[in-house]
């Protein structure tokens, strides 16, 4: 069923049919939801899963951002063989970024340019035992681009991998700027009588 859903999802995006339903939502709660989903599996593999996020109010397709993060964190838990994974979000000058970083086995440099292509997997004995369609990262990349963003990866063999989801300023809730009092008028606060 997962294979069929991923193929349908990828095919619709190939046809430029990645419809987004944008809404305002607090990013910390979304990151906590992702961590909760993988808490048991991470514990079973003795992986410390750490979440760090300031107060960021996103304006994006919550379900699709959740899909991206579940894929990235799921891959880190299943394939990295690391002892820790951090899920960290912060504002940038162009919007905000979410990093999924592990301290695991890393990805060979020669594979980095093709991991976002459809039906591609880095073949190891561990990957084969975990299964997968080779579509997850390709779908993530398409969803990031549909939001006007991107996904970048950097990896070092034996030292871990970091995937960074970059989202633009229009994926943030616009902050209302306080209106200044009209010129010549001042704001006063009355002191309570004692």
Q: So where are the chain's domains?
A: 2-13+25-171
Residue 165 pLDDT more than 60?
yes
Residue 193 pLDDT more than 90?
no
Largest CA distance in the chain: 77
- Residues 132, 61, 153, CA angle at the centre, nearest 5°? 50
Measured CA to CA, the distance from residue 22 to residue 14 in angstroms comes to 20
Residue-wise pLDDT tens digits, 64-95: 999 999 999 999 999 989 999 999 999 999 99
- Residues 161, 12, 134, CA angle at the centre, nearest 5°? 35
Residue 106 has what pLDDT?
93
Percent of the chain with pLDDT over 90: 60
Residue 132 has what pLDDT?
54
Residue 124 has what pLDDT?
45
Residue 120 has what pLDDT?
54
Residue 128 has what pLDDT?
43
Residue 174 has what pLDDT?
86
pTM of the model: 0.79
CATH class of 2-13+25-171: alpha beta
HSE, side-chain direction, 13 A CA sphere, residue 133: 17
Residues 6+ apart with CB under 8 A from 50: 84, 85, 86, 87
Residue 129 has what pLDDT?
43
Task: For CA atoms 137, 139, 142, 148, give the dihedral sign.
Answer: negative
**Region 160-172 average pLDDT:** 97
Exposed/middle/buried for 67, CB within 10 Å: 0-12, 13-18, 19+? middle
Phi then psi for residue 181, to 5 deg, are: -65, 145
Measured CA to CA, the distance from residue 71 to residue 169 in angstroms comes to 23
Residue 127 pLDDT more than 60?
no
Measured CA to CA, the distance from residue 52 to residue 45 in angstroms comes to 21
Residue 194 has what pLDDT?
38
- Of 61-70, 100-109, 183-192, the range with the lowest mean pLDDT is 183-192
Residue-wise pLDDT tens digits, 178-189: 544 445 444 433
């Amino acid at each position: 069923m997962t294979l069929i859903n991923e193929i349908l999802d990828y095919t619709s995006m190939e046809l430029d049919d990645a419809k987004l339903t944008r809404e305002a939502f607090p990013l910390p709660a979304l990151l906590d939801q992702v961590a909760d989903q993988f808490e048991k599996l991470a514990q079973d593999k003795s992986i410390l899963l750490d979440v760090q996020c300031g107060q960021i109010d996103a304006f994006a397709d919550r379900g699709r951002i959740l899909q991206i993060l579940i894929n990235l964190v799921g891959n880190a838990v299943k394939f990295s063989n690391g002892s820790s994974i951090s899920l960290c979000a912060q504002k940038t000058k162009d919007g905000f970024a979410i990093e999924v970083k592990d301290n695991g086995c890393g990805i060979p440099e020669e594979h980095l340019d093709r991991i976002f292509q459809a039906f591609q997997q880095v073949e190891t004995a561990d990957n084969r035992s975990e299964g997968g369609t080779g579509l997850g990262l390709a779908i993530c990349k398409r969803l990031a681009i549909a939001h006007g963003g991107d996904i970048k990866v950097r990896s070092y063999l034996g030292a871990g991998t970091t995937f960074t989801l970059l989202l633009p300023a229009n994926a943030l809730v616009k902050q209302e700027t306080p209106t200044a009092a009209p010129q010549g008028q001042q704001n006063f606060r009355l002191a309570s009588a004692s």
